[in-house]
Amino acid sequence: MQTVANISVFAMFVMYLLAAVFGYLTFYDEVESELLYSYQKVSSADHLILGVRLAVVVAVILTVPVVIFPIRTALFQILVPNRPFNWVRHSSVAFGLLVLVNILVIFVPNIKDIFGVIGATSASNLIFILPGMFYIRIVPEALEPLKSRAKIQAACFTCLGFLLMVNSIAFIIMDWVSAGTHGTDGH
């Protein structure tokens, strides 16, 4: 599974890198928030755009199982850690996740909103919150008491991460609200 995940992540990295580079080189600073929207203005490349959209759909279809695997595993570890494998539970969780992903794809109008929320939550967690929490949890209290300077700094670091995450999400929501009151283009 690790090999499949590595190949999939590398292939997606190359695809997104090529899309970003050629999208920027084509439109420079007038690239839309969704790259393919920029190409709607070009009428001579209709078949090419259709092909690219088909490639994006195939890429999403092929990456969803790779993403569902760790999510499902994490859910099972949290909710039913010591239960044996069950096909019904396995399939129902996968189906529920696919339904959730499809609902998000249908109802979220712009992918920059998804990237904003994911960036605000995951970056804060990976950079600030989790390292501080891991330090507090992993270092034994006999080796370093909870009131030690290092653990207090780790707790402050974790609190800073929570504040940054809440602040970032608040700004994203404010952007959504202001875009909703000023029309769909945000102006």
The predicted pLDDT at position 186 comes to 46
180 in Cβ contact with 110 (< 8 Å): no
The predicted pLDDT at position 155 comes to 94
pLDDT along the chain (187 residues), means of 10: 77 82 77 64 64 75 78 86 88 88 76 79 85 90 90 94 92 83 55
DSSP per-residue letters across 125-150: IIIIIHHHHHHHHHS-TTTS-TTSHH
The predicted pLDDT at position 36 comes to 62
Integer Cα distance of 36 and 48 in angstroms = 11
The predicted pLDDT at position 184 comes to 52
- Give the closest residue to 35 by CA, choosing from 49, 47, 46, 45: 49
- The helix, strand and coil proportions of the chain, stated in percent and rounded to the nearest 5, come to 80, 0, 20
The predicted pLDDT at position 152 comes to 94
- Give the closest residue to 18 by CA, choosing from 50, 59, 78, 47: 59
